[in-house]
Structure 1
Amino acid sequence: MTQLDLFADVDATNEPPRPKTTAKIPATFASSKPATVPPTPAIKPAATPAPAASVRALRPRLPKNPHEVALRLAEAVSSAWHTQHGGTAIEVPIGIVAALALIRPKDPKGPDLARQILNQDDDQLIKMYREIWAGHWIQRPDLIDRARILHEWTNDDEHDKHRLYVTRAVTQAALRNGIFDLTGHDDPYFRAATDVLSPVMALTRSAGAQKGLGEYHTPAHVGEMIGHVVMAEAGFITRDPKPGDHIHDPACGSGGLLRAAAQGLRERGGDPASMRWSGVDIDPIAAACTAVNAIVWGLGPRVTVACADTLTRPDAVEEAMAEARAVIEHRDQLFGRAAVIGAVRKAQRLFDQVVAAA
C-alpha cells in the first residue's frame, strides 16, 4: 500500500482554474480531489463559533511546541547538508524540505510513509521529488513556477553520486525530525502551526549571504504578535473580514506574517481561502518559500507572490499577477494539446483495429 498523496494538502477550494483534462499521475501517487473547483465559501458569520475550541481539543495531534520542532528539524537538515559537504546550492536542501511539506500520508493509520520514502533507491528518490513538484504544478502552476529555484535541480539530466548521497542524507534528517508531524495534517490550521521553511533557509544560508540580502528572520512568536497587529490595522479585530479583503506583506520573507494573519483569521471563524493574499521579497529563495507555504498553509486561490525590490518596483504584485495568468494559460494550453493528441491516438488505434479485422 502506497501512502503518498500528492494533492492531499490542496483543498478543492484552494485551487485556481484547472484544465478540463487531467494528467495521468504515476501509480505511486494519487489525487483525492475532484477536477472541478467549487465556489469559494463565504466567511462564516460572527455568530458561528470559531474553530479555536475544536482546535484546542485536537492539539495533542501536534507537537507541544511546533516552533521548536521546526527549529530542530532545520538544525538537522543544515547539519546533514553542511557536514556532507553539500556546497553552496542551498536551494537543494530547502527544496527537499519544501517538497516533503507538500505531501502527507493518505491514511494516518496506514504504512509508515517516511519508511516508504527512505526505502527507495537514489534514482527513485529523485524521481519522487520531481513528480511531487510536477503534480503540484498541475494544480498551482502560478505558485510552483514562482518556486522554480527550489525544484529545477530535480530535472538535471544526471545527478552525480555525491548529490544523490547528500539528497538522501537531507531527506533522512527531515523525516526523522518530524516533518510530517508538522505538515502531514488534513487540517490546514495544523499545517500552519509553524513555518518549517524559514529556519531551514536561515540555517543553511551563510551569515554573510543573509547580511548581503538584508535578510533578517522574524522569530515565530514575534511574527504571530505582528500578525495580530496586521489584523488590527486591517480592521479585522473590530469587524468580520469580508471575502476578497486583501492582506499584503511588502517584505514577506518565507511568508511568516501571512501565516500568523491566516491563523488569527481562522481562530476568529474566518476562512483564509476567501481572502486575497500577496507578498513580495527581493530574495528568490524566500519568495519561493512563500509560494510553497501558501499551498501548505491553505491560503487559497487568490495568492500572489512576487520576487522584486518593493522600493524600486511598486507594481511588483500586479506584474506577478500577470505572470501568474500567463503560466496558468500555458498550463491550460498544454492540457488542451495533450487532449487532442490523446484523441488522435485513440482514433488511430480504433482505425488500426478495424483494418486488422477487415
Structure 2
Amino acid sequence: MGVVRTIVFPALRLLVWALIAVALLYIAFVRGSGEDTEAAASPSAVVDPPAAAVVRGDVTNTVSLQGSIQADPATTVKATATGVVGKVRAEVGDDVEKGTPLFTVAVTTEPPPATDPLAPPAAPTTRTVTVSATVPGTLATLDVLPQQAVTVGDAVASVSPGTLTVSAPMTQAQQFRLLQPPSTARVTVPGGPGTFECTDLRTGTPATTPETPDPDAGYVDPYADPSSAMTGATVSCAVPAGVQVFAGLSATVDVTAGSATGVLLAPVTAVQGSVGTGTVWLVADDGAQVETQVSLGLTDGQNVEITQGLEEGQQILQFVPGTDTPAGQPGGGMYGMGY
C-alpha cells in the first residue's frame, strides 16, 4: 500500500497532466492553424447594398417648425418741430388712431433784422404744431412733459399695434423646401385654443439679432448633418384677431407647400441633391450600379417626387454610395444624404 501511494499515484498524476498539455498544444497550434488557413482560403462574404423600388404614390410637402408667439414691435413717434411742449393731449394706455393728437409744440420764430435802425424791434412770433400718432394702436410710451424742449427727430412716444406674430427658425433643408411658401399656415399652441390658421405668411431674416453672443458660434460639429444647420431665416405669420394667445408661448407651425397624387416616388436617402435635379444609382438587371440624373419635385422628408429620369418599378440603391446607412441595415450608421 505504501508503494501505491508513493509511486503509482504520483506517476498517474503526471501522466494525466501530460495528456492535458498535449491536448492543449494540439488545439492551439495544429487545429487552430488549420482553421485559420481554411478561413483565409475561403472568400469573404459580400453584402449587396440594399435597393429600393421606384413606386407611385402621393406626397405632401408639409414642414413642421418649432417657434414662439411674439408681440409685434411698437412704432416710434418722433417730434416734428423744434420748440417747447405745450399741452399734452394723450396718456399712456390710450387707444389711438393714425392722426390722433398726442401733444403740441410751441415753435418760436425770431423776426428778421430790422432795416430801419430807428424802428422798434419786432416781437418774435409763435405758432403751434401738433404731434400726432403715425399708426393706430395703443399708446405704449409718451416721454414728454409740459414746458419740455424738444427737437425735430426726437423719439417722444411709441405706439404698440397690439398684434401678435408667430415666428419659427428654419434649417437649411427646411428653407429649401419652402422656396415657394403659401400665404397661410396651421399653428398649434400647447395648452392653448387649439389649432388655428395664421395669415400673411412670410419668410426672411429677422431685422434684429441677439445681443448676447453664442459661445458655441465658432464651433462646427464635424459629425452634424449640414442640412440641419440653422440658417438665420425664419417663417412668420400674423395671429388672427380674437385668438387668445400670449407673447412668449411656444408654438408649432405646420406649413404645407404643395401636394401631388399618383406620382413617382423614391426615398430621399437614395437621392444626392434636393432641389430641382439630383442623382440616383440605378441597379441594372446584371447588378451594375448606373449613376442616373433625375428631375425632382415635392418631398415630404421621407420620399421625393421623381418628375423625370426614372420609371415605375425600377430598382435604385436605397442609400447614396459613400454615405452611412441607418442602424439595422448593412453597414449601419446614421442617415446620409437626403432632405
TM-score, shorter chain, exceeding 0.5: no
**Structure 1-normalised TM-score?**
0.19
More strand by share: 2
Larger Rg computed on CA atoms: 2
TM-score by length of 2: 0.20
